[in-house]
Structure 1
Amino acid sequence: MARQTSRTKQSDRARREDLELGFEPDPGADWRHFEELKLSPFLEAALEEFGAHGYHGGSVRAIANRVGVTLPTLYYHHGSKQDLLVTLLMGSMHDILVRCRHALTEAGDRPEDQVAHIVECFTLYMAHRRRLAFLDGEVRNLEPENRERYIAQRNELSVMVRRIVDDGIKDGVFHTPYPAEAVRAVVSMCQAVAVWYRPQGPLSEAEVAQRYVTLALDALVLRTRGT
């Protein structure tokens, strides 16, 4: 049996803690499937409060009242309002990256398939987890150290897409003259889904994701192999 390293043990422990908070388990190859997310009562109340009033407008006392506990009880589980925001943002970003890594693995070696899978995965997350994803707008309210940690993780997705695009340009599949701007546009386009998408609308999450795959490949100036 393979021996666990200290880093592996720490990672496993971190994910167990995340699951206690209500974040999803690793979806594995089933990255297109989303179960209903059941956050811990404290995080659910904070998400509702921040969604209704923003981070600055949200009240710790109101969060405690939503849960039905006293302030000391809330502070026992989460030391501050900042801690609640950090936990929600970091948990969401971790889940996005885990899903995108699985999508990338499934895509194979062709850059056009890799981009398609990443964009589909990212868009699906923005639509299914829009309440969590919408909190990205509160990154400006993170304390400097927390903001640095979060942005470093968020940038990992852009770096992932940029590497694929660079490979596609070398492979003669993508022909955009502006790869950096194209990647930025694709990532921003997908992020915006959390702002406008509503499940009561005319398109399902999967339909939106497929349309965004087409838009992304058009932005990268995809040329079919052999033409």
Structure 2
Amino acid sequence: MTKALSAPVDDPVHKLTDGQWRDFSRPSLPPMLQAALDCFVEHGYHGTTIRVVAARAGLSVPGLYHHYPSKQALLVGIVELAMKDLLSRSEAAVADAGSSVEERFRLVVECLLLFHAYRSELAFIAASEIRSLEGGSRPRHIAQRDRQQRMVDEIVVAGVAEGVFSTPHAIDASRAVVTMCTGVAQWYRHGGPLTPEEVAVRYGLVARMAVGQPRL
């Protein structure tokens, strides 16, 4: 048997300041959740058995159950940490921008794009397996997703009110921008022609055009 992964580590999401929201060098998940994520990406949630996850983690099934009592608990853990990480980074990006609505928009969009490129597999599973969440986990996840959307909505609405953005449909433009950013997780592959930073520059321009901001 391969060497067992360690027990769940402390929450890898931490308070981010002074541009740290751009740093993706830390692991996004504790080891056992990372093993589950890898399996869900390869086989889908319903196509993955707890035995497969345990083998990937180098654990016995009872050993895995000691930390996560079900496959659903693994999915919930993955989804909750994904949204916590994204929201923490987004809030830090907005804080770094200060009072300028133009800068708040630019940085929150950059944050969304970087996250969905660097954490493409995590973001993809968090979005595509919403249907597999059970009980109160699904509405909790949707509430966090809506909170992220409102963050961008408020910035775009404020930008229109200040005359910085010219779109006549602020909320629709905001939703289109967020959908474009989150969609990066569906196609981005590391080692491809664009780095995450290049994606952020290119799609950031498209986002600014969507809200009617003059080209810089």
What are the ranges of 5 or more consecutive residues in structure 1 without an aligned counterpart?
1-18
> Given the alignment of the two structures, is residue 28 of structure 1 paired with residue 1 of structure 2, yes or no?
no
C-alpha separation in 2, matches of 1:171 and 1:177:
13
Distance verdict in 2 for CA 1:38–1:141, change over 3 Å: closer
C-alpha separation in 2, matches of 1:32 and 1:144:
34
C-alpha separation in 2, matches of 1:84 and 1:50:
10
User: Which structure 1 residue ranges, 4+ long, deviate > 6 Å from structure 2?
Assistant: none
> Given the alignment of the two structures, is residue 175 of structure 1 paired with residue 175 of structure 2, yes or no?
no
**TM-aligned CA deviation for residue 23 of structure 1:** 2.4
What is residue 222 of structure 1 aligned with on the other side? 213
What is residue 128 of structure 2 aligned with on the other side? 137
2:149–2:178 contact (8 Å) kept in structure 1: yes
**TM-aligned CA deviation for residue 68 of structure 1:** 2.5
1:21–1:39 contact (8 Å) kept in structure 2: no
TM-score, normalised to structure 2, is 0.90
> Given the alignment of the two structures, is residue 213 of structure 1 paired with residue 204 of structure 2, yes or no?
yes
2:17–2:96 contact (8 Å) kept in structure 1: no
1:161–1:183 contact (8 Å) kept in structure 2: yes
C-alpha separation in 2, matches of 1:200 and 1:224:
29
Distance verdict in 2 for CA 1:193–1:224, change over 3 Å: closer
**TM-aligned CA deviation for residue 38 of structure 1:** 6.1
Aligned residues: 207
What is residue 13 of structure 1 aligned with on the other side? none
Give the structure with the higher percent helix.
1
> Given the alignment of the two structures, is residue 62 of structure 1 paired with residue 52 of structure 2, yes or no?
yes
**TM-aligned CA deviation for residue 82 of structure 1:** 0.7
What is residue 99 of structure 1 aligned with on the other side? 89
2:156–2:171 contact (8 Å) kept in structure 1: no
